[in-house]
Amino acid sequence: MTDYRIGIDVGGTNTDAVVMDGDDNLLAKTKTPTTEDITSGILSALDVVLDDSGVSEDELDYVMLGTTHATNAITERRGLNEVGVIRIGAPATQSIRPLLEWPDDLAAAIGNNVAILDGGHEFDGRLLNDLDEEQVRAQIREFADVDAFAVTSVFSPVRDDHETRVAELIREEVGDDVPISVSNEIGSVGLLERENATALNAALTSVASEAANAFVEAMDERGIDANLYFGQNDGTLMSVDYAIRYPIFTVASGPSNSVRGAAYLSAVENGIIVDVGGTTTDVGAVTEGFPRESSVAVEIGEVKTNFRMPDIIAIGIGGGSIVSTDDGVTVGPQSVGYKLTEEAKCFGGETLTATDLEVAAGTIDIGSETPDVDAEIVEAAREYVRERVEREVDRMKTSAEPVPVVIVGGGSILVPDDIAGASEVHKPDHYEVANAVGVAIAQVSGEVDRIYSLDEMDREEAIQHAKDEATDNALAAGADADSVDIVDVEEVPLSYLPGNAVRIKVKAAGALDH
């Protein structure tokens, strides 16, 4: 059984790729510059690792891609769909219209088509208002020219029938080709944040489908007939079809891949991961092998959202960070970024970077020159980096107990081995391509996040119901039925509410179906 697979992570600076075999042994790895068209960078990374590993195109079973394409499309307002944003909940919720707090240019980029229509449910599943199907149809016809729909109904995490019905009505009115995003599949309780995430998802479907098609074509071009997957931000995979429907879940998949890869390479299942890149260092937490989720609303493109996102803190320190000695020694947040090989002193440039210090100290040997830097400055800069990293590692912890810390990424050399609060510090082999490893070893998952009334069913039933639904979702995403496990169950009683309302979140994950 070979089961060769390739993991590719397209970052802002580098495109990394690895080849692994069925036993998760790493056979080849490469780091190549990310290209403007992305595809050519992917292909050149692919060629290098296939060549080095001796694995041929037709031996590949899986190709997994991690990409920041969706995030960039939002921040750059590029290629976004015009979206019809339909909220079901009138007469409630009219005091805050959809997209109210969005940046004007982003709201304009998706067309500012919003409507609040009759319907929705109460927290306990009672009807808030009847759905007025004629009113919905009329609104859909008014939005006939949009590229995609985003549908949100009040308390759809409790009852989704109004969202489901509106999606059917959209199908009947405008056909099967227009993408529809429904909020209960995307976010949790908190209408505005869930609606925002749903609208962003709808805005991204065309960009996602272009990226997916480019990926598929690139594989065709190399004669690769493998199963293709995208990395998503909980550290698991989704099929190409799923990625086109739920592109929002690829946002922040890069740091998640690094967390998974670092956990795998170091065999640390619970701890803190520090990923040192070219311009920033991401600090995240791994819990039972998966990235810990953020518990607060996360902003994407200045828009508050509440879909699951990894709990990550980014600090402005990386290999390309500019070292200043004006007022004590500081490192970053300014960076030479992708121009490291032009501007850094070790490459003959004029700017003193964090990389130059390590070259001067003799810990790494890259570039054409060895900059002349005082040992004291090197020491002070390392101390500066250590303090910043220690502080963020500490913030990522949930208690004062020392925990294992894993350092990965191209700039790992910048971070010292003795970190306060760490029970042990790992810099595993292949640390520089941890993100590509993370996507290559990923499983597929399914989750559910719902409110149950324990007056109607007992607690065991409710949890079982959630587990079954999460398992079904994992199977739908491509998991092998025999390998699906429940990896997380979270239960939150809701204060102030009668009916024993409880919010249950379950995640199931399993190996790829062969």
Partner 1 sequence: MKITTDNIDDFATGATVLGTGGGGDPYIGKLMAQQAIEEHGPVDLIDPRDVPDDALVIPSAMLGAPTVMVEKMPKGTEALSAFEALETHLGQEAYATMSIEAGGLNSTVPIAVAAALGLPLVDADGMGRAFPEVQMVTLTMGGVSATPMSIADEKGNSLLVNTVSNEYAEAFARVTSIEMGGACMIGTYALSGAEVREHAILDSMSLAHDIGEAIRTAKHHSRDPVESVLDLTDGYELFAGKITDVERRTEGGFAVGEATLDGIDDCEGRTFTLDFQNENLVARDSERGVVASTPDLITVLDAETGDPVTTERLAYGHRVRVIGMPCSPKWRTDEGLGLVGPGYFDYSIDYEPIETLQQPKHD
**1 forms part of the interface with partner 1 (CB under 8 A):** no
CA-to-CA distance for 187 and 160, rounded, in angstroms?
12
Residue 58: is it exposed, middle or buried by C-beta count within 10 angstroms (0-12/13-18/19+)?
A: exposed
Number of residues that bind partner 1 (CB under 8 A): 40
Which CB atom, from 91 or from 223, has the smaller least distance to partner 1?
91
CA-to-CA distance for 379 and 43, rounded, in angstroms?
41
Among 23, 36, 104, 296, which residue interacts with partner 1 (rule: CB under 8 A)?
296
Q: What binding mask, one character per residue, do residues 392-421 give for partner 1 by CB under 8 A, x or -?
A: --xxxxxxx---------------------
How many Cβ atoms are within 10 Å of 481's Cβ, its own excluded? 10
Beta bridge partners of 173: none
Q: Smallest gap, in angstroms, from Cβ of residue 394 to partner 1?
A: 5
How many Cβ atoms are within 10 Å of 363's Cβ, its own excluded? 12
Q: Which residues in 96-115 contact partner 1 (CB under 8 A)?
A: 96-97, 100-101
Among 20, 86, 90, 274, which residue interacts with partner 1 (rule: CB under 8 A)?
90
Burial 208-227 (b: 16+ CB within 10 A, else e): bbebbeebeebbeebebebb
**93 forms part of the interface with partner 1 (CB under 8 A):** yes
Among 22, 33, 103, 493, which residue interacts with partner 1 (rule: CB under 8 A)?
493
Among 66, 120, 289, 510, which residue interacts with partner 1 (rule: CB under 8 A)?
120
Among 3, 122, 173, 480, which residue interacts with partner 1 (rule: CB under 8 A)?
122
Per DSSP, the residues of 127-142 read BSS---HHHHHHHHHH
CA-to-CA distance for 500 and 88, rounded, in angstroms?
25
Angle between helical axes of 354-361 and 375-396 (0-180°, round to 10): 120
| φ, ψ of residue 161 in degrees (nearest 5) | -65, -35
**62 forms part of the interface with partner 1 (CB under 8 A):** no
The region, left, alpha or beta by phi > 0 then psi within -120 to 50, assigned to residue 276 is beta
Q: Smallest gap, in angstroms, from Cβ of residue 180 to partner 1?
A: 21
Which CB atom, from 84 or from 89, has the smaller least distance to partner 1?
89
Q: Smallest gap, in angstroms, from Cβ of residue 116 to partner 1?
A: 10
Q: Which residues in 123-182 contact partner 1 (CB under 8 A)?
A: 123-124, 126, 128-129, 154-155
Q: Smallest gap, in angstroms, from Cβ of residue 128 to partner 1?
A: 6
Q: Which residues in 182-241 contact partner 1 (CB under 8 A)?
A: 189-192
Q: Smallest gap, in angstroms, from Cβ of residue 383 to partner 1?
A: 18
Cα Rg for the chain, rounded, in angstroms? 24
- 223 vs 10, 58, 238, 406, CA distance in Å? 21, 7, 22, 37
Which residues of the chain form contacts with partner 1 (CB under 8 A)?
A: 89-97, 100-101, 120, 122-124, 126, 128-129, 154-155, 189-192, 296, 391, 394-400, 493-498, 501
